[in-house]
Structure 1
Amino acid sequence: MIRDPFLDTQGIHNFRDYGGWETADGRQVKTGLLWRSGQHVGASEADLAAVHALDIRTVIDLRGLSERERNPCKRPDGFAGEVHFYEGETTSSPPHMDVDEAITTAEFARQRMMAVYTRMPRNPAMATMFSRYLTLLAERGGASLVHCFAGKDRTGVAAMLLLHILGVDRERQMAEFLRTNEAPTFEVLAAQSVPGIEARLGRKLDEEAVKALLEVHEDYLHTFWHEVEEDHGSLDSWLENAIGVDELLKDALRARYLT
């Protein structure tokens, strides 16, 4: 894709359109319908106006109850869409915030993130939300937004799942996943995350540890795929058996989002 997929925002991290990718059979994922981002707790008035112009009708918030209570998202004035979320906790804490006293080096930080992607395929709450997201995409018209705290881990997997169903190959799925590292709003996420992590640790994070926690890396998504395949043999089998994605749902998603 030559176009810039990122929305110009001041207080929302990683807001972008993840359509536009070519499928293995030469079709293309529609643009302007599939948006993803981090949380909107710090959205400016200009941000809200820009979001309002997108006419987003469905928001899927992958954060758990305590995350939403600590960081209530702002919505544009006149927002008439539906917001869907999980009634309980989707994780013990935002994945990149799940830290301990050993997190001050990049390797320990990376291992913590690898553990997140090892657990995610077996997390019942996330299975529920991934299922709900894919079902809503098929049922509801107009544009949608999926987000979590940082818009990179839970949201990154949600976007990957749809691209897989639509026939985008793994190389492009990974390219979309890694595009998070190109987001021009890294400092927004750092401001929302690093002080809390450092307060929990009682010490400063080194620069490489911050990157390991706040960026994404190929081995994170490879770990997710590996764990799924270890348990179910294939991503398609996991989608069918753990997420409830049957051929009718796949066909509906392809009909709606491919051109």
Structure 2
Amino acid sequence: MTVLDRADEGRVQPLEGVHNFRDYGGYRVAAGTLKRGLLFRSGQHAGAGAQDLDRIHALNLRTIVDLRGDAERAAMPCARHPEFGAEVLFAPGETAGIELAPHEEAGAGIATGEEARAAMTRLYENMPFRPVLVKSLRLYIAALADGEGASLVHCLAGKDRTGLAVALVHDLLGVHPDDIMADYLLTNTAGNREARIESAAAGIRDRYGAAMSDEAIVTLMSVEAAYLNTAMAAIRARHGSVADYARDVLGADDAWRGKVEARLVE
């Protein structure tokens, strides 16, 4: 299945102000192995310090796909290295149902971990079909085939919209289902998990009330297998297969797969 240990520390970038920054290459696919050092995912970069920006700059990113909505980008503009030169792609509009990240949206009206889990599961059922997010995913899909050099895909927390995007690409390229899920769930252990959760807790409680339990906050800021399974099941229910959804909705056909394999598989 995997080429590298899923817990390989080299996969996660040790950044202070950018959470969940990691390489999602290195897995076996149908045509070989996804290259390392070309495919990255993360949360937002608003809190990046100088050392973080130096580390990111050293990755030589050529393309950044921002899956956040307009309101999120305005509220938390990404910090950039003085020599930043990557192309940033995004679709105008809101990629969540309201002007919030998915985990923030799911926090409405909940107080317990069980309620948070149910809300996140419901959210994932519709996530693959949100119009502006679909436009953003099309940009991401196209960039993987037609771009040059290393790319980064990110949202606010780097776990829901980004997690779905990466899982779709892994699935289309033939990554083993166990590895797809392992990469998705790596959010729960990558980097400083406590700092990532703490960074969002105040904002969530400010919006929805201080009575929200710690368990609910942790649940909102984590991922579970049931979430991704729900999204994939919804895709199959509407389109028959992930491949059909990707072809008909995202533009990822056989020609796309050939280009991506030529660029990113060894």
Q: Aligned pair 1:115/2:148, yes or no?
A: no
Letter in 2 for 1:86: A
The whole-number CA distance in structure 1 between the counterparts of 2:226 and 2:107 is 21
Structure-to-structure mapping, 1:34-53, within 5 angstroms: 34-53=39-58
Letter in 1 for 2:186: R
Indicate if the aligned counterparts of 1:15 and 1:35 stay in contact, CA closer than 8 A.
yes
After superposing on structure 2, the runs of 4+ consecutive aligned residues of structure 1 that deviate more than 4 Å are: none
What residue is the counterpart of 1:65 in the other structure? 70
Q: Aligned pair 1:198/2:216, yes or no?
A: no
**Secondary structure class of the residue paired with 1:90:** coil
Structure 1 residue 182: Cα displacement: 1.1
Structure 2 CA distance for partners of 1:100 and 1:164, relative to 1, 3 Å: closer
**Secondary structure class of the residue paired with 1:121:** helix
Letter in 1 for 2:22: R
Indicate if the aligned counterparts of 2:107 and 2:204 stay in contact, CA closer than 8 A.
no
Structure 1 residue 190: Cα displacement: 2.2
Q: Aligned pair 1:144/2:127, yes or no?
A: no
Letter in 2 for 1:149: L
Structure 1 residue 192: Cα displacement: 2.9
Q: Please, which of 76, 83, 93 is the counterpart of residue 88 of structure 1?
A: 93
What residue is the counterpart of 1:8 in the other structure? 14
The whole-number CA distance in structure 1 between the counterparts of 2:191 and 2:83 is 28
Q: Aligned pair 1:228/2:235, yes or no?
A: yes
Structure 2 CA distance for partners of 1:79 and 1:219, relative to 1, 3 Å: same
What residue is the counterpart of 1:179 in the other structure? 186
What residue is the counterpart of 2:168 in the other structure? 161
Indicate the percent of aligned positions where both proteins have the same amino acid.
Answer: 40
Structure 1 residue 102: Cα displacement: 3.5
Indicate if the aligned counterparts of 1:12 and 1:185 stay in contact, CA closer than 8 A.
no
Give the TM-score taking structure 2 as reference length.
0.93
Indicate if the aligned counterparts of 1:127 and 1:242 stay in contact, CA closer than 8 A.
yes
Give the TM-score taking structure 1 as reference length.
0.96
The whole-number CA distance in structure 2 between the counterparts of 1:134 and 1:188 is 31
What residue is the counterpart of 1:212 in the other structure? 219
Q: Which runs of 5+ in 1 are unaligned?
A: none
Indicate if the aligned counterparts of 1:64 and 1:88 stay in contact, CA closer than 8 A.
yes
Q: Aligned pair 1:76/2:81, yes or no?
A: yes
1:36-55 Cα deviation digits (max 9, x unpaired): 00000111111001001100
**Secondary structure class of the residue paired with 2:29:** coil
Q: Which runs of 5+ in 2 are unaligned?
A: none
Number of residue pairs the alignment of both structures matches: 258
The whole-number CA distance in structure 1 between the counterparts of 2:38 and 2:14 is 17
Letter in 2 for 1:29: L
Structure 1 residue 160: Cα displacement: 1.0
Larger mean Cα displacement after TM superposition, 163-172 or 35-44? 163-172
The whole-number CA distance in structure 2 between the counterparts of 1:65 and 1:241 is 26
Structure 1 residue 162: Cα displacement: 1.4
Structure 1 residue 100: Cα displacement: 4.9
Q: Aligned pair 1:23/2:17, yes or no?
A: no
Letter in 1 for 2:163: G
Indicate if the aligned counterparts of 1:165 and 1:254 stay in contact, CA closer than 8 A.
no
Indicate if the aligned counterparts of 2:106 and 2:123 stay in contact, CA closer than 8 A.
no
Indicate if the aligned counterparts of 2:112 and 2:216 stay in contact, CA closer than 8 A.
yes
